[in-house]
Amino acid sequence: MFIGHYAVGFAAKKWAPKTSLAVLFGAAIWLDIVWPIFVMLGLERFLVAPGITRMSPFDFIDYPLSHSLVMAVAWGIGFGLIYLLTENDTKTALILGGLVVSHWFLDLIVHRPDLPIFPSEMNVTGVVHKYGFGLWNFPGWELLIEFGLFAAGVWIYAKSTKESKPWGNLGLAGLVFFLAAFFIASLKMTVPNNTNGLVFFGQLLTIIFLFLGYWVDDNRKSV
């Protein structure tokens, strides 16, 4: 899932009106921010395997530090705790922690069974626990759900904020178009086999999306 994660970041603005959209985005995609770092460090692995699902060519072999449920909860606690210590805002800290954890459950909908529960391959019983409902193999349903989430998230954000500077509305429209267009383009593009290059490019795009989120939010205010 891609724009579905940004959708929950958009929507969270209604309940965290003083928090920058960039921070809300950052929490919602946090697992995908730390994942490339672990890949480049050789701690997690994936391969490009065209056809492994109908929508995504990625075979996520091993990513328990970033994408296990236990670690998602740990990352969420850490993210929320840091915000609490710096901003002294318990409500928003809980929201941010929830956004981090939401990433795992949204991925659960679309991934094939490759999402681990534990931060190691097996638990104490020696049983591998990996899950995924596999909606990437049903493109029509996946697109309906993901674009539905995205539309709802953007609508909630637009209703919860208003333009405060000249670029507020146009900037929001541009950000929405950019995210949606990149998502659609990614479904058609040929993915190279250079995994480190892919995660570096993905990280660069993430920085751009976060910056745009900050800039758009800076041109709007909560109502």
| CB-neighbour burial class of residue 14 (10 A; exposed 0-12, middle 13-18, buried 19+) | middle
* Lowest model confidence (mean pLDDT) among 85-99, 106-120, 121-135, 179-193: 121-135
Residue 126: the pLDDT is 59
Mean pLDDT for the stretch of residues 3-8: 98
Q: pTM (2 decimals)?
A: 0.95
Mapped to the 3 state alphabet, what secondary structure does the chain carry? CCHHHHHHHHHHCCCCCCCCHHHHHHHHCHHHHHHHHHHHCCCCEEEECCCCCCCCCEEEEECHHHHCHHHHHHHHHHHHHHHHHHHCCHHHHHHHHHHHHHHHHHHHHHCCCCEECCCCCECCCCCECEECCCHHHCHHHHHHHHHHHHHHHHHHHHHHEEECCCCHHHHHHHHHHHHHHHHHHHHHCCCCCCHHHHHHHHHHHHHHHHHHHHHHHHCEEEC
Q: What is the per-residue pLDDT for 120? A: 75
Q: What is the pLDDT of residue 190?
A: 84
Per residue in 44-98, pLDDT tens?
999 999 999 999 999 999 999 999 999 999 999 999 999 999 999 999 999 999 9
